[in-house]
Structure 1
Amino acid sequence: MKKLKLILILIVGLSFEIQAQELDVNLQIRPRFEYRNGYKQLLQEGQEGTSQISQRSRLNFNYKQEDLIVKLTLQNTRTWGDVAPTAPADKNGVAVFEAWAQYNFTEKWSARMGRQVLSYDNQRILGEQDWGQQAQSHDALTVSYHTEKQKLDFGGAYNSTAENVVQTPYTVASYKTLQYAWYHNQFNSELGLSFLVLNTGYEYAPLPAPATKLLVDYMQTFGPYLTYKKGKIDTSFWLYGQTGKSTDQQVSAWNAAANIGYNITDAFKLGLGYEFLSGKDSNDGSTVIKSFNPIFGTNHGFNGYMDYFYVGNHLKNVGLQDAFLKLNYNVNKWQFALIPHVFLAAADVATPLPANEKLDSYLGTEIDATFGYNFKKNITVTGGYSQMFGSSTLEFVKGGEANHTNNWAWLMISVDPRIFSWKK
């Protein structure tokens, strides 16, 4: 028996010698305090703001063996106090955020399967949504072809609620099936161009219909994303269209934006931007969906940090125009930003028929101020303050009282140490 054990140890040891291997283990602890006083929507008469602390705790395992790469990310998200100090079990438990295996067939071709993040370009359509403590990942299969200047990704997903034996409604608040293709060409150090095509299928039961009849409607989102950087100037442009069907309704919507930045000094940067997301007139009686949906985008990073638009809200509405200014200042370990936004409706806003009184398209102005500080290696502190100065039109569209002081403040500490690293 002792000889057998020795032989097994030698075999394992020889395999380790033959195959190059790497293992990294990283930890993230990220608590965030928030004071919400008109966050996402205007406060209503008699309502008061609230405060809470949320936390993400993550453990990342990254393993590489020659052409095989594997990643496993476990996480727990919680609100401080959501379980009692003596609770025998956690409310949310431990979830699998990422669990994928990738095989590199050649230096250019690879395939990845499992729970993974789908994030492209500026994350307007497909992103990680890292601001949310839970973030966003997909059960998918992706195939990639990457060269020095060109990248091509294909991906697909097919979702079910369980291992069923008969047709069963998909009750998760997500898509039933997804396919996409993304191509990027970095022409040179200055000019880059991407093109994304995304097809999403959502299951629904038509009415009236037998309970067993389930249909899937497909919506397509597609368009280019362009970046140009030269000297002190950097710009980005995108134009996305949406077509297809959603719950048996035709979709016809679009999104366009332009951003330009200028480095006044090494520390100070000025930026201007404008984004248009199509909407539907408030008294439009047609069944066509004309409101653009940035479907899986990192929407917290767009249209103001107070999340009044497109962060789980403002869908199938009057759309949005967002004109904004960005002021960034970085010095030593500090980063500061000031971003004022002016919001307008992208479609007509009017009182209900028969009055049909047209309202001003101006929705409000939001001021976002943020800071960041690199406290120590693997420790960063970030925070911010935002205030929404809403209009009577915003009251009409979203409810609430614009006369209230609607503001939001937050402070977040992120601790991201590497706790283990091994290479052979």
Structure 2
Amino acid sequence: MKNQIFYICLLLILLNTTMASAQLTVDADIRARFEYRHGFGNLFPDNADPASFVVQRSRLNIGYTEQRLKLFLSVQDVSTWGDTRQILSNDGNDSFALFQAWAQVYMDEKWSIKAGRQVISYDNQRIFGGLDWAMQGRFHDAALIKYKDDGFIADFGFAFNQQNISSEGTAFNILGAFTYKTMQYAYLKKKWENASASFLFLNNGFQKFDIINNPDGTFNRQTTGTYFEFPIESIKFSGSAYYQFGKAAADIDLSAYQFSLEGSYKPNKTLYALGFELLSGTDQNGDNKNKSFFPLYGTNHKFNGFMDYFYVGNHANNVGLNDLYAKMVFSTGEKSSFLLKGHYFAANADLSNGADKYLGTELDVVFNQKLMKGVTLNLGYSHMFAAESMSLIKGGRPYDNTNNWAWAQLSIKPNLITWDNKKTILQN
């Protein structure tokens, strides 16, 4: 309750700001999604029932801008319909949270400092992304030094994480998939008329413990590479190449790579695209170092199939992936579109006992309909046609059961208030 009071007080302070050059916006983000899961994220086991549920995100975004200052606050509740018993005096599932809270101070027209809890997202969101598909999203507690001038940007990011205030030591005991203790990165990007290229160098430090679980310094993982876009006549190409090195764990060396290339063509209102992505892996028969690339803090749901069999909380330190895909997006009306996408999956590294590297084929279908301003309906269906070798990377589960997933999502994102130059406008 104290947190809610704090956010309300902060909102009132912003609403009463009287600076003539300031602007205030208040937006809502209400999203409800029904899902039917029968093999989502993993092969469906024998003698099990499919899962169904509705999950909802209720988010309030407050943005404030004046000549040399930007503030942004975002609070949200993420819950499953029915997870809180009716007529309780409080929300027992502790689903209310601070999603973003940052300030950006402009030193001059080119340089600024941005600090606080924030989304960090670049390029196609493969390494850094907001993960907006997940209701809770992804944020970083970080400080950024930013430069922007004439089609060129440079960001330098820094983070140091602790689980609480302490008078002794800096042990970081919060465990999770690639939850870092320290982070430093440099991101550079140059835009031309029809092309762009970026460069990223990222270092993550993770807490290390000795054999009796005492803190023993950190081990570090580095990721560096590029993302690019350029046209050749009517075909637009985009791609990336990254290399990871350092440590996969405290005592395990890492050497891994990622490479992708996509070509797209859009005559009239229909988009056609063909592409592939290679993510290196470690042989199941044994290897002298870890060769498994992991895309870290990106929006991984948008890659390698919507059924999330790869790199969405899984497939770390595994055999990698070769993903060949084709997609088509076409208009079905003035405010609607239809996506059809197919993936051919194969292991990048060798499977045990010389098994076939082919893992399976996935088909994704998504329909999008804009109902009115700020309101969108999305319908989706995906089917995984798993090969026998898929069992070798999914815990031995049977590959020949039906594996499919269906969902329906309603997104409502209205602008509630726009305040500019002492004028307040309420949006219907």
Q: TM-score, normalised by structure 2?
A: 0.91
Structure 2 unmatched ranges of 5 or more: 1-12, 422-428
Provide the rounded CA distance (Å) in 2 between the counterparts of 1:419 and 1:56: 17
Q: Is 1:249 aligned to residue 246 of structure 2?
A: no
Provide the rounded CA distance (Å) in 2 between the counterparts of 1:230 and 1:243: 33
Provide the rounded CA distance (Å) in 1 between the counterparts of 2:299 and 2:409: 18
Structure 2 counterpart of 1:134: 136
Question: Which of residues 263, 274, 277 is equivalent to 1:260?
Answer: 263
Q: Show CA shifts across 1:126-184 (max 9, x none).
A: 00010000000000000111113111100010000000111253122351000111000
Provide the rounded CA distance (Å) in 1 between the counterparts of 2:19 and 2:213: 58
* TM-aligned CA deviation for residue 204 of structure 1: 2.1
- Greater alpha carbon shift after TM alignment, 325-334 vs 161-170: 161-170
Question: Which of residues 355, 358, 369 is equivalent to 2:365?
Answer: 369
Structure 1 counterpart of 2:410: 413
* One-letter amino acid matched to 2:259: A
Structure 2 counterpart of 1:305: 306
Q: Show CA shifts across 1:72-102 (max 9, x none).
A: 0000100111111122222133211100000
Structure 1 counterpart of 2:7: none
> How many residues of Structure 1 are paired with residues of Structure 2 in the alignment?
400
* TM-aligned CA deviation for residue 230 of structure 1: 5.3
* TM-aligned CA deviation for residue 16 of structure 1: 6.9
Question: Where does 1:114-153 land on structure 2 (aligned, <5 Å)?
Answer: 114-153=116-155
Q: Show CA shifts across 1:340-377 (max 9, x none).
A: 00000000001xxxxxx210000000000001011001
Provide the rounded CA distance (Å) in 1 between the counterparts of 2:293 and 2:283: 13
- Greater alpha carbon shift after TM alignment, 302-311 vs 103-112: 103-112
* One-letter amino acid matched to 2:407: W
Q: Is 1:204 aligned to residue 208 of structure 2?
A: yes
Provide the rounded CA distance (Å) in 1 between the counterparts of 2:23 and 2:382: 43
* One-letter amino acid matched to 1:344: A
Cα 1:17–1:402 shift into 2, 3 Å? closer
Provide the rounded CA distance (Å) in 2 between the counterparts of 1:268 and 1:402: 35
Cα 1:44–1:423 shift into 2, 3 Å? same
Cα 1:397–1:109 shift into 2, 3 Å? same
The 8 Å contact of residues 171 and 215 in structure 2, kept in 1 or not, is answered as: no
The 8 Å contact of residues 58 and 74 in structure 1, kept in 2 or not, is answered as: yes
Question: Where does 1:27-106 land on structure 2 (aligned, <5 Å)?
Answer: 27-90=28-91, 91-106=93-108
Structure 2 counterpart of 1:5: none
Structure 1 counterpart of 2:4: none
Structure 1 counterpart of 2:426: none
The 8 Å contact of residues 199 and 227 in structure 2, kept in 1 or not, is answered as: yes
Question: Which of residues 262, 267, 286 is equivalent to 1:284?
Answer: 286
The 8 Å contact of residues 77 and 92 in structure 1, kept in 2 or not, is answered as: no
Provide the rounded CA distance (Å) in 2 between the counterparts of 1:422 and 1:373: 30
The 8 Å contact of residues 19 and 66 in structure 1, kept in 2 or not, is answered as: no
The 8 Å contact of residues 207 and 215 in structure 2, kept in 1 or not, is answered as: no
Q: Secondary structure at the match of 2:390?
A: helix
Q: Secondary structure at the match of 1:392?
A: coil
Cα 1:55–1:349 shift into 2, 3 Å? same
* One-letter amino acid matched to 2:371: F
